[in-house]
Amino acid sequence: MSEYFATVARGLEAVAARELQALGARNVMPEFTGVAFAGDRALLYRVNLWARIPFRILLILGHCRCRNAEELYTGVQTIDWSAYLRPEQTLAVRATGKNAQLNHTHYTALQIKNAIVDQQRQTMGRRSSVDTQQPDVSINVHVRGDRATISLDSTGESLHRRGYRPAVGTAPLKETLAAALLDLAEWTPDLPLFDPMCGSGTFLLEAALKALNIAPGVFRDRFAFEQWSDFDPDLWNHLRNQAVDEQRSHLLHPIIGSDRDATVLEEARTNLFYGDLVHQIPLSQQDLATVEPPSAPGILVCNPPYGDRLGDVEALQEFYKLMGDVFKQRFKGWVAFVLSGNPTLTKHIGLRPSKRMIVHNGSIECRWLRYELF
């Protein structure tokens, strides 16, 4: 069994831990902005292919003391890098965290890179070159106090880049956050889902992938672990083929979106087209003021403008009031969720949330608010 660490957005640790557990991870432990877990190589591939919430999955190689640069250098050299990196492969080192002596991540990364390539030169007479853009092997080091954790990044480009979304709208949600919010809303594919401010369609796409049992990783053409010396192509192809075989072709319950802006709806259509979902998810151009429930009661999710990225806070107060009125008067029997990045605006909804969950949308601390509409 190996030790892994899934990096996640702040606030999503517990929901990501549940997802990893469901995928078969062992010893699952939520930590700050990540989840530690254990498992075999098949689990690593399965998590990269199927997990909807993490950004990347790290394979932990070891820990060392790092009170200063020399200690870190020595600690990194205790690992036999020939098992992970051949001289003809390129490398990149990413450092996070700091302590009193190692307080610049670039400097920390440089120490680690030097320790690795010096070992290669000493043992093999040749060294890897650095490629920060598309490295063959990406090494991750996290400094916390006087302890460093050294890992290999098994993912490469962040998992939120599913590969199905060429159009990104005006203020899109990350796919990983949208997937987590759907889980936190306890939406399941047997419930209708409606997003009346769908923008480029992130909630709709993530919900549809889940409902059709489509692994989010099947759209990607590359994972970092494919460059590793222990890469098992048969196992990987088996897991990918199995994922494709297990897909469902049709939604059994409606997933529907609308937005007032024709341009973003066109982007949502482009994304649905790439995800091969354009014929299954109805989209309509509608202002919230005229929206009616498009199906039997289900879950309404939305990510309205906050005022700091789109529009102006004062003008938005009326809009938030309208949202509350529309929910209350027309959506009886539904449960509505609003991603709120601005508590002042949220008060204008005028309804009492039955649950408030703290999540981070990039650097903005938000609340995922649940409203029961009787």
Q: Which residues pair with 37 in a beta bridge?
A: 4
Of the ranges 36-44, 70-78, 134-142, 253-261, which one interacts with ligand SAM (CB under 6 A)? Answer: 253-261
Of 135 and 305, CB closest to ligand SAM: 305
d(Cα 301, Cα 313) in Å, to the nearest integer?
A: 21
Q: How far is the CB of 179 from ligand SAM (least distance, A)?
A: 12
Q: Taking CB under 6 A as the criterion, which residues in 268-307 touch ligand SAM?
A: 287-288, 303-305
Q: Which helix (H) or strand (E) holds 244?
A: helix 233-245
Which one of residues 7, 128, 149, 200 is an interface residue with ligand SAM (CB under 6 A)?
Answer: 200
- Cβ nearer to ligand SAM, comparing 110 with 322: 322
Choose the binding region for ligand SAM from 3-11, 117-125, 195-203, 361-369 (rule: CB under 6 A).
Answer: 195-203
11, 192, 199, 217: which one contacts ligand SAM (CB under 6 A)? 199
Residue closest to ligand SAM when measured from CB atoms: 199
Among 259, 298, 327, 353, binds ligand SAM (CB under 6 A): 259
Binding mask 303-332 for ligand SAM (x = CB under 6 A): xxx----x--------x-------------
Taking the complex as a whole, the smallest distance from the CB of residue 316 to ligand SAM amounts, in Å, to: 9
260 binds ligand SAM (CB under 6 A): yes
Distance CA 288, CA 321 (A): 11
Smaller CB separation from ligand SAM, 59 or 207: 207
> Which residues, including other chains, have CB under 8 Å from residue 24's CB and lie 6 or more apart?
39, 43, 46
Among 172, 189, 216, 324, binds ligand SAM (CB under 6 A): 172
As a whole number of angstroms, the distance between CA 7 and CA 57 comes to 7
Measured distance CA(329)–CA(232) in Å, rounded: 56
Q: Which residues of 145-154 are buried (b: 16+ CB within 10 A; e: fewer)?
A: ebebbbbbbb
CB 195, min distance to ligand SAM, A: 7
Yes or no: say if 73 and 115 are a contact pair by the CB < 8 Å rule: yes
**Residue 173 binds ligand SAM (CB under 6 A):** yes
| CA dist., res. 365 & res. 346, Å (int) | 14
Distance of alpha carbon 361 from alpha carbon 344, whole angstroms: 17
Closer residue to ligand SAM, CB minimum distance, 7 or 258: 258
**Under rule CB under 6 A, which residues in 102-161 are in contact with ligand SAM?**
none
C-alpha to C-alpha distances, 231 to 83, 139, 154, 227, 236, nearest whole angstrom: 12, 16, 11, 7, 8
Closer CB to ligand SAM, 65 or 330, in the complex: 330
Q: Is 342 in the site for ligand SAM (CB under 6 A)?
A: no
CB proximity list for 134: less than 8 A, separation 6 or greater: 90
Find the helix or strand (DSSP H, E) in which 179 lies: helix 175-184
Q: Which residues bind ligand SAM (CB under 6 A)?
A: 169-173, 197, 199-200, 202, 259-261, 264, 287-288, 303-305, 310, 319
